[in-house]
Amino acid sequence: MNPVVTRFAPSPTGYLHIGGARTALFNWLFARHHGGKFLLRIEDTDRKRYSPEAVEAIYGGLKWLGLDWDEEPVSQFAGRARHQEVAENLLASGGAYRCYCSPEELTEMRERAREAGSARLYDGRWRDRDPVDAPAGVDPVIRLKAPQTGETVIEDAIQGTVRVGNDQLDDMILVRADGTPTYMLAVVVDDHDMAISHVIRGDDHLTNAFRQAQIYGALSWELPVFAHMPLLHGSDGKKLSKRHGALGVETYRDDGFLSDAMNNYLLRLGWSHGSDEIISRDEAIEWFDLDAVGRGAAQFDMDKLTSLNGHYIRHAGDAELLELVRPILEKLLGHGIEIDALARLKSGLSGLKERAKNINELSENALFYVHKRPLPVDDKARKLLDEQGRRMVDIARDELAGISNWSHDELENSIRDAAAARDENLGKLAQPLRAALTGSNVSPGIFEVMEILGREETLGRLEDAVSTP
């Protein structure tokens, strides 16, 4: 068996969208699993749609996902001389021919074929015609002299045996009238030259595989293993594409998703390993193979991604989270974070991360740890700090001021005792305290918050609350 070499071949027309990311992930995983190579090829043959920014965006997306590629990315456009050379060889060997049809003739043929219910859109009229008949002043295209009988069969690693009658396929164009290679030719030549062993790509290429197989045949080249993975669908059940709801991966990054969560989610869309749901990168590499890829299209489900993201946030290290949260907080604050505030933030993260679905939410919830006094107080918290609430805060403040050992348990004992002494529920005291200390009615455990805030800051915030009516 040939060494495993896979490739991801996006066209640089924009960001790396979610479907492309999944294709890239599967290729990467397959290569890593087999100790092979994962190559990148930019399909930039169409110069009208090419943009260097798009190429950078694709690199950026892959890097964010942690899908590192081997060797320098290949530019398909740069290989056009080689594509032409192959076409010339095919011409010389009789595997291809020049066709002088005008666009009008072609549309007419197409219409007629449709009416007749035929799949062959081109009737092969120049296939055996003598080139001396060529009309003057017409630049010909080069077409493949495809087999007209028999069938083309693909042994697809995911879809199984897929076959089509050769009478369904017409002589495709290899080189355009302007001398540039078409996609069909370019992919085949590039995949061959790059020694790609496994072509893993979206289902939408399945019918292209037939045509490509014919080109391989004409060239007497060995066929790679094809593996056509099912497409990603939107919630309407239609193919997800850039113009149909597929967002770039960086959008998810900006929305606070962790790359590990994204990878895990994408992996489980169309691939499974028993009933495992949480799958680490290492496990994915160890377990991934094509035989466990499903054959039906999968719908993108934001809820499940979000749930996975929550899991990965809860299990992320505080240092990693701090890196992610800090710039967001500084933006929210409009200034840098001072050293003591940073220390509070760092200690607060473990309690905060239990409660966040994404990094943006985590940041917002962390804001009270780093905000300077006086704290902004939201409406619900304001309600808790009514006259009665402020009285509770006042009681708590007196109680807390007498504490010698500022620790979670001490704090809790003291407040619980104070509540019990007044025959009140803990919540009666805790909620106004929460409002005063965090400016919100929702936060991590209130004794944890007080411990992290420290004596001075805690007492200060309580003072602020009682003194501002």
Partner RNA sequence: GUCCCCAUCGUCUAGUGGCCUAGGACAUCGGCCUCUCACGCCGAAAACGGGGGUUCGACUCCCCCUGGGGAUACCA
Beta strands in 137-283, from DSSP E residues, in sequence order: 141-144, 151-156, 160-165, 173-175, 198-202, 225-229, 232-233
Distances 13 to 50, 358, 378 between C-alpha atoms, Å: 6, 29, 44
In the bound state with RNA, the residue whose beta carbon lies nearer, of 304 and 391, is: 304
Residues 125-154 that bind RNA (CB under 7 A): 141
Residue 77 C-beta: closest distance to RNA, Å: 9
# residues contacting RNA (CB under 7 A): 87
Q: Does 414 bind RNA (CB under 7 A)?
A: no
Cα 51–chain centre separation: 20
If one asks whether residue 331 binds RNA (CB under 7 A), the answer comes out as: no
Sheet with 37-42, side-by-side order of all strands: 5-8, 37-42, 74-75
Tokens of 82: 């080689």
The runs of H, that is alpha helices, within 179-317 are 183-193, 206-219, 249-254, 259-268, 281-287, 302-314
Residue 23 CB, nearest approach to RNA (Å): 12
Residue pair 249/18 in contact (Cβ under 8 Å)? The answer is yes
Q: Choose one: 88-96, 162-170, 279-287, 461-469; the region binding RNA (CB under 7 A).
A: 162-170
The residue whose two tokens read 């028993």 is 274
Only one of the segments 100-108, 329-337, 396-404, 455-463 lies at the binding site for RNA (rule: CB under 7 A); that segment is 100-108
- Of 220-259, which residues contact RNA (CB under 7 A)? 230-231, 233, 237-239
59-98 binders of RNA (CB under 7 A): 76
CA distance 190 to 170: 23
Judged by CB under 7 A, the residue of 55, 91, 134, 162 near RNA is 162
Site for RNA in 31-50 (CB under 7 A): 43-46, 49
Residue 326 in contact with residue 303, Cβ under 8 Å? Answer: no
User: Any catalytic annotation for residue 331?
Assistant: no
**Angstrom distance (rounded) from CA 98 to CA 115:** 27
> In this structure, is the dihedral angle defined by the CA atoms of residues 369, 371, 372 and 375, taken in order, positive or negative?
negative
Touching RNA, residues 428-457 (CB under 7 A): 430-431, 434, 441-448
Is 354 a binding residue for RNA by CB under 7 A? The answer is yes
Q: Active-site residue among 242, 346, 357, 428?
A: 242
CB of residue 428 vs RNA: minimum separation in angstroms? 9
Instruction: For the CB of residue 152, give the shortest distance to RNA in the complex, in Å.
Output: 10
Binding mask 256-275 for RNA (x = CB under 7 A): ------------xxx-x-xx
Which is closer to RNA, CB of 93 or CB of 299?
A: 299
- Min CB(360)–RNA separation in Å: 15
